[in-house]
Amino acid sequence: MALDLIQARHDRDAPYSHRGFALDESLHAQLLAAAQPRVDYPLLHKMRDYYADTTFLLGELRGLHAELARVAVRCADPAQVGALQAFVETALADGNNLYACAD
């Protein structure tokens, strides 16, 4: 089971998108443990409930990317965080939102 991040312009298009990133429980736990204090990482904490859906609008993606850059050095596997950052960069370049969908 994973929390799927899906790129799409609109939420109605998310189920048909082929651009996604699977966020496993281990990476999710690493991100939230490193994203402290919580007030400094409001976007990462939108995903605090692994089993709930959430949305990152296009205008939030630069901030999400910056938060990921700050936590990467404190995570056990910074390469995984880098892959997630690259996925966020692609969404920005394509002008898409990100939809976090719990399986």
Residue pLDDT, tens place only, 4-37: 999 999 988 888 888 999 999 999 999 999 999 9
60 token code pair: 């939030």
Beta bridge partners of 98: 7, 56
Domains held by the chain: number: 1
Length of the chain: 103
Domain that holds residue 76: 3-102
The model's pTM: 0.93
Q: pLDDT tens digits for 86-100?
A: 999 999 999 999 999
CA-CA distance, 39 to 15, in Å (whole number)? 31
Q: Are strands 97-102 and 20-23 parallel, antiparallel or unpaired?
A: unpaired
